[in-house]
């Protein structure tokens, strides 16, 4: 075993301190630009963050419970049963125990969850590729164009935090923790299925290795502690791509059993409440014109952009964006990302692109797919610090301006 493999990095919050400070700085910049932009338009930045679109639906669930719906003139029924319960539960808990309003509670939950998500992303990336790559993975997640959503009273930050730490638990062989966090992720968003799939894929692989007697040897086990790995390693290494052996098989199996209970429990409850059977949740989503059509509606939406020259540019940009996502997936595979990360990012991307929902929301739906950022984080980690800082700083400014413009627009993010 080499010197590099035996080095142990600082564990816990201390290892992630730089990443979290950088993340907080980027988000603070985004909020500052939003406040200035909104004030210039006689709007309240706080209202934009806490009391528009989905955030209103979450606070209604927190305050009034389920059962609220809106019937549109075209016959569509928008029911608040479409919104999973964990965020409203937390909003209600914080409202009950503090002077915060429901909207304020949602904002605080989102802010705290975004920090937990950043920490979880650092833990995953540092565990696989080293602490320097972990730092840039967090910064890249902060500066993506729709990063302002991380500070809204939406469920994306909460979901990403649960997903990231569940994936980290899988990578380090903590199966009960992984299953419990996957359960909670399944109570947060429908895309919780991606976390369940990742836990199951890793669990099945681990059980098959154990049955075949081919569990990774001590030389191939992960030696990285919580919150970090080997700070000078930038290249992928199979040494950390399998959960460490030694955990009893029953823990792995129990973690796998726990993982789907959150999503399955809520979906079955909705079906029972609506009297529509086990898949009644799909009927609720249909009322919002949401569904899974394999990407047909999205492809048709892109094709319609080419009916005129100005909109054709938007169509080309959408095609380029999808091509970039595919390219990043290919690179992730070539760099031998751990199986649970590949499965998780693949399912998140597939659900986002192949859903027939509001197309303007697709960038937001892709927000939790942070493993796709790891190839870019590795590239930044290989640059000199000054050059990487200039790149991240420039993108952070552009992201802050775009987020303020986007949130002050008419359509929901």
Which H, E and C letters describe 335-379, residue by residue?
Answer: CCCCHHHHHHHHHHHHHHHCECCCHHHHHHHCCCCHHHHHHHHHH
Measure the CA–CA gap between 150 and 166, rounded to whole angstroms.
19
325: Cβ contacts below 8 Å, ≥ 6 apart = 349, 353, 366, 372
pLDDT above 50: residue 375: yes
What is the CB neighbour count within 10 angstroms for residue 211?
A: 10
The angle at the Cα of 378, spanning 120 to 11, to the nearest 5 degrees, equals 40
Measure the CA–CA gap between 190 and 264, rounded to whole angstroms.
10
pLDDT above 50: residue 227: no
| pLDDT the model gives residue 313 | 86
| Mean pLDDT to the nearest integer, 369-396 | 96
| Mean pLDDT to the nearest integer, 309-317 | 84
Residue 166 exposed, middle or buried by CB count within 10 Å (0-12, 13-18, 19+): buried
Q: Name the DSSP class of 53.
A: T
Cα dihedral 302, 304, 310, 315, rounded to 10, equals 10
> Two tokens at 99?
């002077």
| pLDDT the model gives residue 246 | 55
The whole model's pTM is what?
0.90
| pLDDT the model gives residue 290 | 86
Mean pLDDT, the chain, integer: 88
> Two tokens at 13?
């919050």
Is residue 411 very low, low, confident or very high in pLDDT (cuts 50, 70, 90)? low
Measure the CA–CA gap between 288 and 281, rounded to whole angstroms.
11
User: 400 and 30 in contact (C-beta within 8 Å)?
Assistant: yes
What is the CB neighbour count within 10 angstroms for residue 158?
A: 25
| pLDDT the model gives residue 245 | 52
Bigger pLDDT: 342 vs 215:
342
Measure the CA–CA gap between 152 and 30, rounded to whole angstroms.
12
269-303 pLDDT, tens digit per residue, is: 999 999 888 889 999 998 898 888 788 888 888 88
Measure the CA–CA gap between 64 and 343, rounded to whole angstroms.
37
| Mean pLDDT to the nearest integer, 10-36 | 89
What element of type H or E holds 177? helix 175-186
């Amino acid at each position: 075993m080499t010197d590099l493999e035996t080095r142990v990095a600082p564990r816990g919050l201390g290892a992630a301190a730089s990443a979290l400070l950088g993340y907080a700085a980027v988000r603070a910049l985004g909020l500052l630009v939003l406040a200035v932009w909104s004030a210039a338009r006689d709007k309240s930045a706080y209202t934009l963050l806490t009391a528009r679109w989905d955030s209103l639906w979450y606070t209604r669930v927190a305050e009034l419970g389920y059962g609220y719906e809106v019937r549109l003139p075209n016959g569509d029924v928008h029911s608040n049963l479409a919104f999973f319960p964990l965020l409203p539960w937390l909003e209600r808990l914080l409202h009950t125990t503090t002077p915060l309003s429901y909207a304020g509670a949602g904002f605080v939950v989102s802010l705290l969850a975004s920090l937990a998500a950043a920490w979880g992303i650092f833990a995953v990336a540092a565990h696989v590729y080293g602490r320097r790559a972990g730092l840039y993975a967090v910064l890249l997640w902060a500066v993506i164009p729709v990063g302002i959503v991380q500070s809204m009273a939406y469920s994306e930050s909460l979901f990403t935090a649960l997903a990231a730490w569940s994936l980290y638990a899988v990578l380090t062989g903590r199966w009960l923790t992984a299953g419990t966090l996957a359960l909670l992720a399944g109570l947060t968003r429908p895309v919780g299925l991606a976390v369940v799939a990742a836990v199951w894929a890793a669990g099945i692989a681990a059980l098959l290795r154990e049955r075949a007697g081919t569990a990774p040897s001590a030389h191939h086990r992960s030696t990285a502690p919580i919150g970090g790995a080997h700070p000078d390693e930038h290249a992928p290494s199979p040494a950390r791509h399998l959960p460490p052996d030694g955990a009893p098989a029953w823990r792995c199996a129990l973690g796998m059993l726990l993982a789907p209970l959150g999503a399955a429990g809520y979906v079955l409850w909705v079906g029972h409440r609506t009297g529509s059977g086990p898949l009644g949740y799909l009927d609720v989503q249909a009322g919002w014109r949401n569904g899974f059509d394999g990407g047909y509606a999205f492809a048709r939406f892109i094709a319609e952009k080419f009916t005129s020259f100005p909109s054709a540019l938007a169509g080309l940009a959408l095609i380029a964006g999808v091509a970039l996502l595919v390219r990043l997936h290919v690179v992730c595979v070539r760099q031998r990302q751990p199986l649970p990360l590949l499965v998780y990012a693949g399912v998140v991307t597939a659900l986002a692109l192949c859903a027939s929902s509001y197309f303007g929301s697709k960038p937001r739906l892709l927000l939790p797919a942070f493993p796709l950022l790891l190839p870019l984080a590795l590239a930044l980690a290989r640059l000199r610090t000054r050059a990487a800082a200039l790149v991240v700083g420039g993108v952070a400014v552009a992201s802050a301006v775009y987020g303020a413009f986007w949130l002050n627009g008419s359509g929901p993010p």
